[in-house]
Structure formats: C-alpha cells, structure tokens
Amino acid sequence: GENVEQHPSTLSVQEGDSAVIKCTYSDSASNYFPWYKQELGKRPQLIIDIRSNVGEKKDQRIAVTLNKTAKHFSLHITETQPEDSAVYFCAASKDNAGKSTFGDGTTLTVKP
C-alpha cells in the first residue's frame, strides 16, 4: 500500500519567515495530494491540494510543488504569521475519491 513520509516533525520559525514541509510517497499511481491544517482539538481543514498533472499551485501565501519523478511534494508558507501555528498533514491518494494515506504531521510554531 501507499506510504507517506513527512518531514520535519516539528518546525519553528520567526514571524515573517518562510516555512517548508516536505512529503514523499511510495505509490507512483497516487495522483491527488492535499494538505491539511489541524488546530488542537479541531478537524483537519484543507488548505491546498494538487493533482499529478500539475507541478505547482499557489494560493496567496501558500504554495505546493510536486515532483512526480522523485515522488515528493512540498508545502511552502511565506510571510508566516502566529496564526499559522498548527499541525500540518500531507496526504496522498490515487484519486480524489479514494482513501487517503496521511503523513505523520508537522507541528509548525510561528514565534512573534
């Protein structure tokens, strides 16, 4: 089955700096890669996603890049703010109807 590895497990940055979280996946058939933000005790919220026919996608301060050959994808957050502090999960699935395999999560702390 699919295996998703996520790094780093914790990340601390100063407000205004950029944050990068990386994930690798094992199943070359996976073609949908969402990123979720989860605040303590709350549900995961989709923040951005990318499909395998796209190499990069950007939404304001958030961007995701995908390298299908290397089977890795990354989340980039620019101009970080304290409210960006949360746990971020990457996931991979074969299509947007199939089950997702989640990474172990990255706890991002943005220091004011």
Partner 1 sequence: GAVVSQHPSWVICKSGTSVKIECRSLDFQATTMFWYRQFPKQSLMLMATSNEGSKATYEQGVEKDKFLINHASLTLSTLTVTSAHPEDSSFYICSAYTPVQGPYGYTFGSGTRLTVV
Chain residues binding partner 1 by CB under 8 A are: 34, 41-46, 49, 89, 96-97, 99-105
Strands 10-14 and 106-111: parallel
**42 vs 83 by CB, closer to partner 1:** 42
**5 vs 17 by CB, closer to partner 1:** 5
Give least dist CB 32 to partner 1, A.
Answer: 8
Give least dist CB 25 to partner 1, A.
Answer: 14
